[in-house]
Amino acid sequence: MPLTPEQVNIIKACIPILKEGGVTLTTRFYQNMLSENPEVKGIFNQAHQATGAQPRALAHALLLYATYIDDLSKLTDLVERITAKHVVLNVQPEGYAIVGKYLIATMKEVLGEDVATPAVLEAWTAAYTDLAGLLIGIEEKMYEAGEWRGYRDFIVQQKIQETPNVVSLVLAPKDGRGVKPGKPGQYIGIKLNDEKYFANSAGTVRREYTLSDIGDGKTFRISVKKIPNGKASGFIHESLKVGDVVEIAPPEGDFVLAEPETTKNIIFIAGGIGITPIISLSKQVVSQYPNISATLVHAVHDPEDQPFTKELSSLEAESKGKYNVVSYYSKLSSTEAPNKTGHITSDDIKKLLPTSPEELQNTHVYYLGPLSFMTDISKYLSELNVEHTHREFFLPDQSLIVA
């Protein structure tokens, strides 16, 4: 049921409150919900809870929702990203009911009776119900369109140590029926089960990981960096073995090549493990679009920290000069050209861009990495007036934070 004009005005009147205390509200919300519902705890990355990334993202989402409550079309991109993440995590309608219950209860607790009046709580209940219905409807269509619904058993066919902190898993369907390859740049959902390792989240966790190789119709490959205090990445690195079974949800995501038929130049900019979707995109460019000139700029601490070096070298050789890799090593004092030391700057990116306006119009930049890295690159590209930019986010929607 649509909100009444009075309810819309009440939601908008909450904007200053969300700006000032939104993170306090969402932090308490997650504490309440996760402590009392261990069955949903595995959906939420506890490392993101510890750093505050998840509460900050939700606080920004609530603020945006309140701001555009009367014109949700302005949030289309955000809705598309949220629903794609939900589908690979196999979020179901009953999960929305739990979130709604604790969100409204926490508003009453944190804001107090003077602010969280019956009218305010009623307006937010109506707003959340309306939004949940919208998302559930979109997600149902996505579930129906997927190659399979929910999770499917896959076997760990290979486990490859790419660097001391990055492992790749080659995953094959247990039933042997093969898979439709995802698009380069997309990610899959993974459900890991271990009663002992994940005891505080009802024996399971769910995560999404980018396809570092879309495979040949028989397998997928994901590549996972071990995160400090990360339960899923820790389990994958320390406990998961070849032959083990994991549950996989089909590929989703829109960090894919845009207008490749008319693109003349591509610049890929990756920070650390942000290389995972970009290596898939690089393979696609080299194999399918030989007329595109592409450069990958990869920022890492040092060569030991850099995965896929052999694959990248092979792509350079295969492209016959149309694809080039430049590495930036932040912990080295010297290196050999074309690689560089230090961090990527605006001037570095400017030197990679074509000088003519026509060429610049046919140039696309794809970038991904840690939050501070994304913030810097976003700023540089804006200053350089680069129109065609594309980005993906590993943390809870960084688009709410990165301008």
Torsions phi, psi for 50 (to 5 deg): -65, -40
Concerning whether 113 is annotated as a catalytic residue, the answer is no
Antiparallel, parallel or unpaired: β 340-341 and 293-300: unpaired
Q: Report the run of H or E that residue 171 belongs to, with start and end.
A: strand 166-173
Identify the CA nearest to 76 among candidates 127, 135, 18.
135
Tokens of 72: 């949700």
Q: Is the dihedral of CA 224, 225, 226, 230 positive or negative?
A: negative
Which of 139, 162, 208, 392 is labelled catalytic?
139
Euclidean distance between CA atoms 285 and 312, whole angstroms: 12
Q: What is the CA radius of gyration of the chain?
A: 22
Contact 45, 160 (CB under 8 A): no
Q: Provide, for the chain, the percentages of residues in helix, strand and coil under a 3-state DSSP scheme, each rounded to the nearest 5.
A: 50, 20, 30
Torsion of CA 299, 304, 308, 313, to 10 degrees: 80
| Closest to 148 (Cα-Cα) out of 202, 194, 214, 90 | 90
Is 139 assigned a catalytic role?
A: yes
Question: Pick from 368, 370, 372, 350: which is nearest to 360 by CA?
Answer: 350
* Residue 52: both structure tokens together: 């505050």
Tokens coding 67: 């701001």
CB atoms within 10 A of CB 109: 14
Would you give the distance in Å from CA 59 to the centre of its chain? 18
Q: Which residues pair with 275 in a beta bridge?
A: none
Residue 140, amino acid? E
> DSSP 3-state assignment of 270?
strand
Nearest Cα residue to 323 out of 278, 362, 368: 278
Q: Report which secondary-structure segment, H or E, holds 172.
A: strand 166-173
Determine the Cα–Cα distance for residues 31 and 102; give it in Å rounded to an integer.
10
Catalytic residue among 30, 96, 366, 367: 96
Name the residue among 259, 250, 316 with its Cα closest to residue 283.
316
Residues with catalytic roles = 96, 139
